[in-house]
Structure 1
Amino acid sequence: MFEHVIIGQYLPGYSFLHKMDARAKLLAVFMFIFTIFMIDTWTGYGVLWGTAIIVFFMSGVPFRYVRKGMFPIFLLVIFTFFLHALFTQEGEELFSIGVFALYEGGVEQGLFIAFRLLLLVFITSLLTLTTSPIDLTDALEQLFTPFKRIGIPAHEIALMMSIAIRFIPTLLQETEKIVKAQSARGADFTRGSFKERSQAFAALLVPLFVRAFKRAEDLALAMEARGYNGGEGRTKLRQLTWRLWDSVICFLMLALAVLLLFFGR
């Protein structure tokens, strides 16, 4: 059920995207996400989707792996599309069924939001699939380092974000185990009245929260036993190396963002 969710997972490899500096990938993704929210034309989204496909081929990630991992997102995207299509009453009315009416503006708005969500999940998933959690943490910390001057704890924020991303697949695996265990005991999450299904989901959520807090406690004890006391005075075993192609990729992404913002709106 959850074994193909790709958000937060790392897939080792030797592709061009794997070899890029994690800081360059983060900067490129930030610019890409900023551009996604600023573009509101089909031409702009077409260019962004073309860029995302090129990045996918540069990642070396199997298409079957991504296709299965994107399936849970499609359910959310379809729900979001119908939500906007049914409740946005703009433009010409296409047809109506009872109290519900479908408008041209609502369909267009729903498609824009759907493409935006797919792009966000797709590009951020490629980031985590091609970047190890350690490199991601180091990159976030170095990018946040200038903000230390105004009192922002860069190391702690980077560690918190990295742990959160890392534990997404772990919690999904825990959920899968609990669902199978509760189903073996007679719980049914798909049939029955609303009250019965609510009780079944309560039997899922309670042990899931207990396991999540237990993992958090074990992690805190492990960090304390290893003498962790924040980022002050810590050295790096692995150093990030910024190469020429990292600068080229960031420049190309910045140029694409500027062109789309000025000519693709």
Structure 2
Amino acid sequence: MLDKMILGRYVPINSFVHSLDPRAKLLFVFVMTILVFFMDNWYGYLFGFLLVLIITKLSNLRFMFVFNGIKPIFFLIIFTFLMHVFLTKGGRTLFDWGIINIQMGGVLMGIMISFRFIIIIFLSTVMTLTTSPIALTDAIEYILKPFKKIKLPVHELALMMSIALRFIPTLMDETQKVMKAQISRGSDISSGSAVQRIKAIGPLLIPLFVSAFKRADDLAIAMEVRGYRGDIGRTKYRKLAWQRKDTLTLLSLIPISMIIIFLRSIT
């Protein structure tokens, strides 16, 4: 499953979303992330999923391609759902046994919070699939530029975020290779009790951490050899160009916000 993970990958194809300025995409996803938390009924979530389908279509990405790519992080959504099921109270009791008490309010809240996370993950994944790491770094640096006045290392923060995002698929590929190497040597990872599976993770983590530190060291040496000194005297080969469609994309957030607020009033 790890080899199917697409978070952090870039798919260079032609589409409307690909052609947008990375700053517009970053701001759009940021505002949409806030608006998602204003959704509090099924109408709002249906509208959110409709937006996801439209944005995925505009990016020329297949919906199932994106969906299958985010499956590896679904365990976080399941964990969030279970936390609400067991800890949130309200409504009629569905199951009561000892200290375990599951009520309808907890189940509904768990489902709604899970839907919110799914929408946010979809939007974030589409953004990374349609934006190169370099362009995303430039967008983050440009948006955070005002914070330079308070001595915030904006360039370094943007670079770290870009490198971290870029290394996600690399580390996933490396994990897959290590798992196959361990299996070829007779290691049993996918079967056994939960304790045995946890113990089997040890032989995976050690070579994975060694490889990650080696890659980080090689990257640091490469940057030092090329005379990297942060943003001091740094010029850009590719400059960001804001277009009319970027403005229209951000203006579309106004009717989207109005629809979400209207759907909140529907009971």
Moved more, 29-38 or 215-224: 29-38
Gaps of 5+ in 1: none
* Structure 1 residue 69 corresponds to structure 2 residue 101: no
Moved more, 93-102 or 140-149: 93-102
Name the residue aligned to 2:111. Answer: 111
Name the residue aligned to 1:18. Answer: 18
User: Hey, what's the Cα distance between the residues in 2 that align with 1:258 and 1:150?
Assistant: 35
Q: How does 1:68-147 map to 2 (within 5 A)?
A: 68-96=68-96, 99-147=99-147
Name the residue aligned to 1:212. Answer: 212
C-alpha deviations, 1:1-26, integer Å up to 9, x for none? Answer: 31111110000111000000000000
C-alpha deviations, 1:123-177, integer Å up to 9, x for none? Answer: 1000000001111111111111111111111111111100010000000001001
User: Hey, what's the Cα distance between the residues in 1 that align with 2:197 and 2:3?
Assistant: 23
Name the residue aligned to 2:247. Answer: 247
Name the aligned partner's letter for residue 57 of structure 1: K
Aligned-pair distance for 1:263?
6.0
Aligned 8 A contact 2:43 2:263 in 1: no
Name the % identity: 46
User: Hey, what's the Cα distance between the residues in 1 that align with 2:86 and 2:199?
Assistant: 31
Aligned 8 A contact 2:175 2:204 in 1: yes
The 3-state SS of whatever aligns with 1:61 is coil
Aligned 8 A contact 2:7 2:70 in 1: no
Instruction: Give aligned pairs, total.
Output: 265
Name the aligned partner's letter for residue 27 of structure 1: L
Name the aligned partner's letter for residue 142 of structure 2: Q
Aligned-pair distance for 1:240?
1.0
Q: How does 1:11-50 map to 2 (within 5 A)?
A: 11-50=11-50
The 3-state SS of whatever aligns with 1:3 is helix
Aligned-pair distance for 1:261?
4.4
Name the aligned partner's letter for residue 257 of structure 2: A
Name the aligned partner's letter for residue 87 of structure 1: L
Aligned 8 A contact 1:90 1:105 in 2: yes
Moved more, 46-55 or 155-164: 46-55
Aligned-pair distance for 1:262?
6.8
User: Hey, what's the Cα distance between the residues in 2 that align with 1:90 and 1:18?
Assistant: 44
Q: How does 1:220-235 map to 2 (within 5 A)?
A: 220-235=220-235
Name the aligned partner's letter for residue 13 of structure 1: I
Name the residue aligned to 1:160. Answer: 160
Name the residue aligned to 2:150. Answer: 150
Aligned-pair distance for 1:259?
5.0
**If the length of structure 2 is used for normalisation, what is the TM-score?**
0.92
User: Hey, what's the Cα distance between the residues in 1 that align with 2:156 and 2:202?
Assistant: 33
Name the aligned partner's letter for residue 80 of structure 1: T
* Structure 1 residue 9 corresponds to structure 2 residue 20: no
User: Hey, what's the Cα distance between the residues in 1 that align with 2:195 and 2:93?
Assistant: 38
User: Hey, what's the Cα distance between the residues in 1 that align with 2:119 and 2:221?
Assistant: 38
**If the length of structure 1 is used for normalisation, what is the TM-score?**
0.93
Aligned-pair distance for 1:242?
0.5
Moved more, 193-202 or 118-127: 193-202
Name the residue aligned to 1:170. Answer: 170
Name the residue aligned to 1:201. Answer: 201
Aligned-pair distance for 1:197?
3.2
Aligned-pair distance for 1:121?
1.0
Name the aligned partner's letter for residue 250 of structure 2: C
Name the residue aligned to 1:57. Answer: 57
The 3-state SS of whatever aligns with 2:3 is coil
Name the aligned partner's letter for residue 161 of structure 1: M
Aligned 8 A contact 2:53 2:63 in 1: no
From the superposition, tell whether residues 259 and 67 of structure 1 become closer, same or farther in structure 2 (CA, over 3 Å). closer
Aligned 8 A contact 1:31 1:257 in 2: no
Name the residue aligned to 1:190. Answer: 190
Aligned 8 A contact 1:73 1:118 in 2: no
Moved more, 221-230 or 70-79: 70-79
Moved more, 191-200 or 31-40: 191-200
Gaps of 5+ in 2: none
Aligned-pair distance for 1:63?
2.6
Aligned 8 A contact 2:40 2:112 in 1: yes
